[in-house]
Amino acid sequence: MGREWLADAVMYEIYPQSFADSNGDGIGDLRGVIDRLHHIASLGVNVIWFNPCFASPFVDAGYDVSDYLSIAPRYGSNDDLAELVGKARERGIRVLLDLVAGHTSIEHPWFQKELAADGPAPEGDRYIWCEELPVRSWTRDMPGTPAWVRSPGPRKGYYLKNFYDEQPALNFGWVGAGPDEPWRDPIDGPGPLRNRQALRDIIAYWLDLGVAGFRVDMAFSLVKDEELTQGYAETVELWRELRAWLEAGYPDAVLIPEGGEPRTGGSLAFDADFFLVIKDAHASLFNNQYAGRLPFQEPREPFFDAEGKGSTRPFLDAWAAARDGHPDRPIILATADHDFDRLCCGPRTADQLGTALIFLFTWGNVPCLYYGDEIGMRYLPGLPNVEGSICNPGYNRAGCRTPMQWDAGPNAGFSTADPSRLYLPIDPAPDRPTVAAQEHDPESTLAFVRKLIALRNATPALGTRASTRVISEGYPLAYVRGESHLVVLNPRREPATLTVDAGEPIWTSGVTVQDGEVKLDGFGYGIFTSRSADAA
């Protein structure tokens, strides 16, 4: 299968606004990424994932698209992306784009055309309209906000949104469409079919330009009412249909969903599951909730924390469930992402990151490194609401979106703009980490990440294709990879001990092996070769 390359991927997420500004306007751009490809390649990653870079009014940082076929002018041009894809390919790096499939911006020409109409389009509406508010109560992803937005006219009535009011939901039909609510188009109605074709057209355009695939935002928000009835079966079937089309014309292209793909029986449409930073499986390991807490997030002590009060059980259960029936299914785990805090946040300092990074690059997942985490960039609390970063009063995403810190120059080398024009403020701390300061420091976080990725890439037993067997799920966490390598981690401040035949050490810190015991200092870790590793 042409998409087998994903199993060997080491991904790098770039929030384009914040990575590198080449023209001094205070906002990152594609030319800035081209200029920094040498740094990305030096990490050992082989896939770049960009957050949305299409034309947008940026109410929601680009997740409100006004033209799917054009790069936003602030990032450059379609030719710039083509150049970036080509130069990345020369370095063995593929490029993934973020596809917002379920909604657009209100400024998209599709929406503006329907807004100006006096009724449904003869060829089928691309959006979901009703003249009177439905009797049933609808809520979407913005807790406490109504799902239906009054039309600003001239079209009468209301439109359904997906997140912010400025993000009208695209019409892919409804389950249970009936005569009492005629605006609920069937899945095979003309409007939904138009949108299915539009998805193919958009995907084909960028694949023809050279991108390797897409991470699909809100991938299972398409067919409406499914979460209340049949568990996303129709939306998954929609993606299966698109997968069959891809197989015929673009067999190497990957599709990655936001989150896990619902299991509805039959083949899976996507090439991986993505354990999101804000969801419980990932959050139970790393989330101290310094960015705040959303209503669906339970208060929980994370496992990778100095206090040592967490548990790996929620993660292990979710991992087992995702692999049930699909033992070779790639699962993506990220260090952090654009929607929450970073690994280095609150009291968690750079010297505590070793165990978390070792885990994320040796567990057997496809790892995704969030830009800046390779130098231990910090989550910054209390930042202003920029392009929808505060989408809930107690939840601020801006702190993980701050500019990349390159050197000790003005604006940490991110931009030559006046600081007041920057997309977000630079970390003001005098000791803020930078690439330049860590470049030649063998004890730096950057050196650690490079060494770790190199070890993973050179050691098949630490990749996705080898087995993972847990021998201790507490403090310390210990697991055997490929029946040949043992990983032992102690992410708490207090020491930990494990009785185990550890074998020969490959890489250790704060570890003593004696008389069949592995003793780990606080934040200690070890990777060993071992033909037989079982906790006594």
Q: How far apart are CA 2 and CA 253, in angstroms?
A: 8
Tens-digit pLDDT profile for residues 268-285: 999 999 999 988 899 999
Mean pLDDT of the chain: 93
Note the pLDDT of residue 280. 87
Q: Is residue 339 part of a domain?
A: yes
Note the pLDDT of residue 426. 98
Residue 516 and residue 374 in one domain: no
How far, in Å, are 42, 195, 275, 397, 479 from residue 405 at the CA level? 16, 41, 27, 18, 35
pLDDT bracket for residue 430 (50, 70, 90): very high
Note the pLDDT of residue 63. 98
Q: Is residue 158 part of a domain?
A: no
Alpha helices in 121-232 (DSSP H): 190-209, 226-229
Whether residue 143 has pLDDT greater than 70: no
Last residue of a domain, one of 394, 426, 457: 457
- Start-to-end CA span in the chain (Å): 41
Find the mean pLDDT for residues 233-256: 97
What CATH number should be reported for the domain holding residue 507?
2.60.40.1180
Residue 453 and residue 472 in one domain: no
Q: Is residue 407 part of a domain?
A: yes
Note the pLDDT of residue 231. 79
Q: Is residue 337 part of a domain?
A: yes
- Which are the contacts of 366, defined by CB distance < 8 A and separation ≥ 6? 6, 7, 9, 10, 11, 272, 330, 331, 332, 333, 464
Q: How far apart are CA 12 and CA 24, in angstroms?
A: 24
Note the pLDDT of residue 394. 79
Specify the DSSP element, H or E, that contains 111. helix 109-115
Residue 451 and residue 474 in one domain: no
Tens-digit pLDDT profile for residues 6-42: 999 999 999 999 999 999 999 999 999 999 999 999 9
Cβ neighbours, 10 Å, residue 87: 14
Find the mean pLDDT for residues 94-112: 98
Q: How far apart are CA 57 and CA 63, in angstroms?
A: 9
- Token representation of residue 224: 């409406």
How far, in Å, are 115, 166, 246 from residue 153 at the CA level? 6, 14, 39
Cβ neighbours, 10 Å, residue 448: 21
Last residue of a domain, one of 400, 434, 457: 457
Residue 330 and residue 392 in one domain: yes
Tens-digit pLDDT profile for residues 161-191: 999 999 999 999 998 766 778 889 999 999 9
Residue 372 and residue 521 in one domain: no
- Token representation of residue 8: 């060997």
Note the pLDDT of residue 229. 63
Q: How far apart are CA 134 and CA 183, in angstroms?
A: 10
Find the mean pLDDT for residues 227-235: 79
Residue 324 and residue 391 in one domain: yes
pLDDT bracket for residue 456 (50, 70, 90): very high
**Strand 54-55, strand 67-71: pairing:** antiparallel
Residue 471 and residue 425 in one domain: no
Q: How far apart are CA 369 and CA 14, in angstroms?
A: 9
- Token representation of residue 496: 């930990």
Dihedral pair phi/psi, residue 260, rounded to 5°: -95, 145
Q: Is residue 252 part of a domain?
A: no
Note the pLDDT of residue 351. 84
Last residue of a domain, one of 418, 439, 457: 457
Counting beta carbons within 10 angstroms of the beta carbon of residue 529, is it exposed (0 to 12), middle (13 to 18) or buried (19 or more)? middle
Residue 505 and residue 422 in one domain: no
Cβ atoms of 392 and 292 closer than 8 Å:
yes
Whether residue 418 has pLDDT greater than 70: yes
Residue 471 and residue 450 in one domain: no
Domain count, the chain: 2
Helices (H) and strands (E) in the chain, counts: 12, 21
Q: Establish whether the linkage from the previous residue to 476 is cis, with ω within 30° of 0.
A: yes
Cβ atoms of 506 and 529 closer than 8 Å:
yes
Q: How far apart are CA 9 and CA 93, in angstroms?
A: 10
Find the mean pLDDT for residues 489-495: 97
Tens-digit pLDDT profile for residues 258-268: 999 999 988 99
Note the pLDDT of residue 15. 98
Q: Which residues pair with 505 in a beta bridge?
A: 528
Q: Is residue 438 part of a domain?
A: yes
Q: Is residue 106 part of a domain?
A: no
Residue 376 and residue 477 in one domain: no
Q: What is the pTM of this model?
A: 0.96
Q: How far apart are CA 130 and CA 23, in angstroms?
A: 45
Whether residue 354 has pLDDT greater than 70: yes
Note the pLDDT of residue 535. 60
pLDDT bracket for residue 203 (50, 70, 90): very high
Note the pLDDT of residue 138. 52
Cβ neighbours, 10 Å, residue 221: 23
What CATH number should be reported for the domain holding residue 411?
3.20.20.80
Note the pLDDT of residue 291. 66
pLDDT bracket for residue 378 (50, 70, 90): very high
Residue 418 and residue 349 in one domain: yes
pLDDT bracket for residue 530 (50, 70, 90): confident
Tens-digit pLDDT profile for residues 128-140: 999 988 866 554 5
Q: Is residue 518 part of a domain?
A: yes
Whether residue 374 has pLDDT greater than 80: yes
Note the pLDDT of residue 228. 65
Note the pLDDT of residue 350. 84
Residue 85, domain extent: 2-100+273-457
Note the pLDDT of residue 271. 97
Note the pLDDT of residue 346. 83
Tens-digit pLDDT profile for residues 461-483: 999 999 999 999 999 999 999 99
Residue 410 and residue 474 in one domain: no
What letter does residue 150 receive in the DSSP assignment? E
